[in-house]
Amino acid sequence: MKPIVVSVTGAAGNIGYALLPRIANGDVFGPHQPVVLKLLEIEPALPALDGVAMELGDCAPPLLHDIVCTADPEEGFGDAEAIFLVGARPRGPGMERSDLLRANGPIFTTQGKAIAKAAHPEAKVVVVGNPANTNCLIAYHAAQGRDRRNFTAMTRLDHNRALWQLAQKAGVKVRDVDNVIIWGNHSPTMVPDTEHATIGCRPVRDVIPDEDWIRGEFRKTVSTRGKAIINARGKSSAKSAAHAAIDHMRDWFLGTPPGTWTSMAVPSDGSYDIPEGLVCSLPVVCPGDGSYRVVEGLELSDWVRAEMQKSCEELAREREAVADLLS
Ligand code: NAX
């Protein structure tokens, strides 16, 4: 079987460290698909990346065909069919979200252009580096000639966090919880929506008849979980973020389980009155052929609609703040 080329940026970072062995182990593309890993870092991180590559090789994963370490984006994305854009500048002390946008925007312009030039024509991209939605917006604008539907941002970690909270509250297994939705931005304005979700095939509202908890504590726990993990661990989420990135890409390539959907931030086509082009988290179904379709026609409560609008307003402000980078 021909190996699939997979690119990962920020590969020497925390998430990269947790992500790479899983990709090499077949967790994204299945147990028979060999992979070539192309790892992109900034120059100063190349020595650390060499160490990561040594360890990766030392795992002796049967599916790992080759490893390329580079600081050259075109080499890093060459022929890639799946691209994880993880690398980004971290938020420093006193930095506002808008400062982070300005600091990271140019990275995603450069990488979007390099993807357009060097990657496989149908390369699928997931942006993990924050602010993920707007970094994805910048990348797809820069990747001229590419189908913007191949550019997505990760809200799967938020989705998985919501599943876990609901399962814990109801005292069931996570696998019994289906069809949660994360709407909007990967930020505290996100809206974890349980109004179409089920627990053991029953509507969540019947199993957890506590709207105050759903709209209050549940939402707050899901949307601020990243901060809680930093406070507890002294480091940001890495294993769970890598796991979510794997879930995101695996479902995109191999399909969402029948009868279920997942959450992905994708360029809006205007559905649910979300301004066209914003990269907004929505419920999607992936048939397993590398495409996705937004789940249409769900009825939204006034609360979900109003909260989602606020999150989209934040995304619109972010788009405004990087307007000069959107060619
Ligand atoms: P780390 O700081 O450990 O690693 C980031 C890596 O990116 C570093 O090795 C750095 O050298 C590299 N890098 C920086 N600029 C680069 C460039 N231009 N090209 C290639 N590599 C570059 O961060 P880590 O904990 O791995 O997190 C990575 C990103 O994921 C951060 O932006 C973080 O905020 C974001 N997250 C996103 C999540 C999501 O749900 N969307 C959740 C987890 C995580 O917080």
* Judgement on whether residues 135 and 160 belong to the same structural domain of the protein: no
Domain boundary among 135, 153, 171: 153
Report the alpha-carbon distance of residue 158 to residue 115 in Å, rounded. Answer: 27
Question: How many structural domains is the chain composed of?
Answer: 2
Average per-residue pLDDT for the chain: 96
Structural domain containing residue 279: 156-321
Q: 112-130: per-residue pLDDT in tens?
A: 999 999 999 999 999 999 9
Domain boundary among 153, 184, 210: 153
In a domain? residue 326 = no
* Judgement on whether residues 171 and 121 belong to the same structural domain of the protein: no
* Judgement on whether residues 136 and 174 belong to the same structural domain of the protein: no
pLDDT attached to residue 91:
76
Residues 146-161 have a mean pLDDT of: 98
Chain-centre distance of CA 217, in angstroms?
24
Report the alpha-carbon distance of residue 265 to residue 284 in Å, rounded. Answer: 9
Strands 262-267 and 279-285: antiparallel
Domain boundary among 111, 126, 153: 153
Known catalytic residue at 196: no
Whether the predicted model's global pTM rises above the 0.95 cut:
yes
For residue 41, give the CATH number of its domain.
3.40.50.720
The one-letter code for the residue type at 311 is S
In a domain? residue 198 = yes
* Judgement on whether residues 62 and 123 belong to the same structural domain of the protein: yes
* Judgement on whether residues 8 and 138 belong to the same structural domain of the protein: yes
* Judgement on whether residues 11 and 88 belong to the same structural domain of the protein: yes
- Closest protein CA for atom 29 of ligand 1: 129
> Which residues are near ligand 1 (CB < 6 Å)?
9-10, 12-16, 40-42, 45, 86-90, 107, 128-130, 132, 154, 157, 186, 226, 236-238, 241
Q: 160-198: per-residue pLDDT in tens?
A: 999 999 999 999 999 999 999 999 999 999 999 999 999
User: Given the CA of residue 89, which atom of ligand 1 is nearest to it?
Assistant: 14
Report the alpha-carbon distance of residue 180 to residue 219 in Å, rounded. Answer: 12
